[in-house]
Amino acid sequence: MPFLGQDWRSPGWSWIKTEDGWKRFEYFNHKLGDNINELTLLDNDKENVYVGDVCERHGYCTLGEAFNRLDFSSAIQDVRRFNYVVKLLQLIAKSQLTSLSGAAQKNYFNVLEKIVRKVLDDHQNPRLIKALLNDLSSTLCILMREVGKSVLIGNINIWVCRLETILNWQQQLNNLQIPKQVSNGMTLSDLPLHMQNNILYKFSDACDIINLGQTTPTLHMLSEDWQLWKKLCQFHFAEKQFCRHLILSEKGHVDWKLMFFTLQKYYPQKEQYGDTLQFCRHCNILFWNDSGHPCTANDPDSCLTPVSPQHFIDLFKF
């Protein structure tokens, strides 16, 4: 489902996304036979939205209901949304796991299984998933030790089975061997030096910069550039934070690389995602930015607020 929210335009309309924006799909009983193909397309195409069934039944929505309705299972297949979903699952694992209903917990672990399988198949983003599984296994161990003190939905044997599955996934990821790619074409090392440097400047993750710097001597030299780490510090942290944790080298210069790893211990880093959920203040609807939604505001863009994974969880705290 592309979006979630209360809809006051009952009894419910069908909407179709066109090049000119969202348009309401209207049909009448005497034309039903002519429109049967369009109705089938409406049900199968997730870019087309049926609005009549998105209202919360009791005027509110829980985190579990939102997680079930927004179709995160399909979102992980989109490289732009993958990191967002992983971060959201990690935050839920840390603090919100027991707030999920039984159905939401089942959906949570189904999505998690698909993520693990995807990483094992395409060998991308194993570090993110290892961190997610570490947080999740730690939470489950604490919950299972404190049965009776905290709320656990479901039989304890189910949680034991889930923990065993997570430990098995962790072992598979630890044993993951990424095959060396053999290519007769141009590689990153064949690019001019300034182009390799420009690529490094596009990274926002310090671990990615360090890992890339370990591949070749040239990239190692570029990854140690103080200007690169200065820019990374300026991207993630405010100037006032620099002054509180100023670190100088033996020569009296600012050690920007060490500064970055010191600052990240005290302050959160800026989050960056290819695609995020958006909240429309006019319609009270959550939706993926690329999917859009049928908004009736005069200026729909002015009503949109990007929703970070932490903000998504905060929306459902009562």
Same domain for 250 and 284, yes or no, is: no
For the whole model, what pTM was predicted?
0.73
Same domain for 82 and 149, yes or no, is: yes
Same domain for 97 and 154, yes or no, is: yes
Q: Report the phi/psi class of residue 135: left, alpha or beta, with left for phi > 0 and alpha for psi in -120 to 50.
A: alpha
- Residue position matching structure tokens 């939604």: 293
- What does each of the 318 residues of the chain score in pLDDT, given as a tens digit? 444 554 544 445 566 667 677 776 554 333 333 433 332 223 333 432 323 333 333 334 677 778 777 878 888 988 889 999 999 999 999 888 888 888 888 889 999 999 999 999 988 889 999 999 999 999 888 887 776 555 667 777 888 899 999 999 999 999 988 777 777 778 888 889 999 999 999 998 888 899 889 988 999 999 999 999 999 998 888 888 877 777 777 777 888 888 888 888 888 888 888 888 888 888 878 888 887 777 888 888 888 888 899 988 887 775
Residue 181 within a domain: no
Same domain for 129 and 220, yes or no, is: no
Nearest to 54 by CA among 283, 276, 281: 283
At 248 the pLDDT is 76
Residue 259 within a domain: yes
At 100 the pLDDT is 83
Q: What does the angle CA 181 – CA 183 – CA 187 come to, to the nearest 5 degrees?
A: 95
Calpha distance 51→78 (Å, rounded) = 24
Calpha distance 59→43 (Å, rounded) = 25
Same domain for 252 and 302, yes or no, is: no
Same domain for 161 and 219, yes or no, is: no
Same domain for 145 and 73, yes or no, is: yes
At 41 the pLDDT is 28
At 58 the pLDDT is 34
Range of the domain at 309: 277-315
**Domain end residue (candidates: 175, 197, 222):** 175
Contact yes or no for 133/173 (Cβ under 8 A):
yes
At 13 the pLDDT is 58
Residue 5 within a domain: no
Residue 42 within a domain: no
At 188 the pLDDT is 83
Same domain for 94 and 156, yes or no, is: yes
Q: What is the DSSP string of 42-57?
A: HHH-TTSEEGGG-S-T
Residue 10 within a domain: no
Same domain for 310 and 256, yes or no, is: no
Residue 26 within a domain: no
Which tokens sit at 80?
A: 């732009």
Same domain for 290 and 242, yes or no, is: no
Nearest to 204 by CA among 227, 230, 236, 226: 236
Same domain for 76 and 154, yes or no, is: yes
Nearest to 233 by CA among 272, 264, 266: 264
Residue 158 within a domain: yes
Residues with Cβ within 8 Å of residue 122, at least 6 apart in sequence: none
At 251 the pLDDT is 74
Same domain for 72 and 164, yes or no, is: yes
Domain count for the chain: 3
Residue 308 within a domain: yes
